[in-house]
């Protein structure tokens, strides 16, 4: 299926905050109570529509514990958007956000759009981080913010789509040179521009040999 743009996303955050479950809910519209542990990286994709344009989201779901291994930093390369996820019932996952953000900013392009997500709102009775705290952190660091539940699907669509909308606006404003792949955006056939081919995997600037 042709698309106007392809955006590469990366999902990051501590282990067990629900990254893979958010992806599964977004791509398959289902919830898995016990999801396999993610090792390395898993991929998901879905087509969305913004401003009557078909946009393909190519999503890289990373492993929480491996984030600070240099090997996984190659996943950031050429990401247009990042979902930074914490678990509202586990305070420590919120406390680690700063180091996640440092890592993301250091290894991605400066125009990457970052959405902060407080997941597991279905567990309201066990909440350990208030909505206001999340919002404040997002404001201080220039992030978009939403609370979601991968279980009930609340705000999951919005999390992925609002991020895409922000990226799309940046394109309209000319923030990106869309022919430069390092921004994680690919122009598809449907945008009636030349010089791009639909490929299933993209994002690395360098050749894959001698990775990292």
Cα–Cα distance for residue pair 189/133, rounded to 1 Å: 43
Q: What sign results for the dihedral spanned by CA atoms 161, 162, 166, 168?
A: positive
Q: If binding is defined by CB under 8 A, does position 200 make contact with another protein? A: yes
In this chain, which of 28, 49, 51, 68 binds another protein, going by CB under 8 A?
A: 68
Binding of another protein by 47 (CB under 8 A): no
Q: Which of 36, 192, 194, 195 binds another protein (CB under 8 A)?
A: 36
Tokens of residue 58, six digits: 């190519």
**Min CB(140)–another protein separation in Å:** 29
Contact pick of 63, 79, 112, 117 for another protein (by CB under 8 A)? 63
43-46, Cβ contacts within 8 angstroms, sequence gap of 24 or more: 43/201, 46/160
Nearer to another protein, 44 or 64 (CB): 64
Segment contacting another protein by CB under 8 A, of 33-41, 163-171, 172-180, 186-194:
33-41
Comparison of 194 and 209: residue with beta carbon closer to another protein:
209
- Report how far apart, in Å, the C-alpha atoms of 89 and of each of 94, 116, 137, 184 are: 9, 15, 17, 32
Q: Which residue's structure tokens are 């921004």?
A: 183
Which one of residues 27, 54, 65, 196 is an interface residue with another protein (CB under 8 A)? 65
Q: What are phi and psi of 52, to 5 degrees?
A: 60, 15
Q: Which residues bind another protein (CB under 8 A)?
A: 15-16, 34-37, 39-41, 63-66, 68-71, 74, 199-204, 207-212
């Amino acid at each position: 299926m042709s698309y106007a743009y392809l955006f590469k996303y990366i999902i990051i955050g501590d282990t067990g905050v629900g990254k893979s479950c958010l992806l599964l809910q977004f791509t398959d519209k289902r919830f898995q109570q016990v999801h396999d542990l993610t090792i390395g990286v898993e991929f998901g994709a879905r087509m969305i529509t913004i401003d009557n344009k078909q946009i393909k989201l190519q999503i890289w779901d990373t492993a929480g514990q491996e984030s600070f291994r240099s090997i996984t930093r190659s996943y950031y390369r050429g990401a247009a958007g990042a979902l930074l996820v914490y678990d509202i019932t586990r305070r420590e996952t919120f406390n680690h956000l700063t180091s996640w953000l440092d890592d993301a900013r250091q290894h991605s392009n400066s125009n990457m759009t970052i959405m902060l997500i407080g997941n597991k709102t279905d567990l309201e009775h066990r909440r350990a981080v208030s909505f206001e705290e999340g919002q404040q952190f997002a404001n201080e660091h220039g992030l978009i913010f939403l609370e979601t539940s991968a279980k009930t699907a609340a705000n999951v669509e919005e999390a992925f789509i609002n991020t895409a909308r922000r990226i799309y606006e940046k394109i309209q404003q000319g923030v990106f040179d869309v022919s430069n792949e390092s921004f994680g955006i690919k122009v598809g056939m449907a945008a009636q521009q030349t010089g791009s081919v639909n490929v299933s995997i993209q994002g690395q600037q360098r050749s894959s040999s001698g990775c990292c």
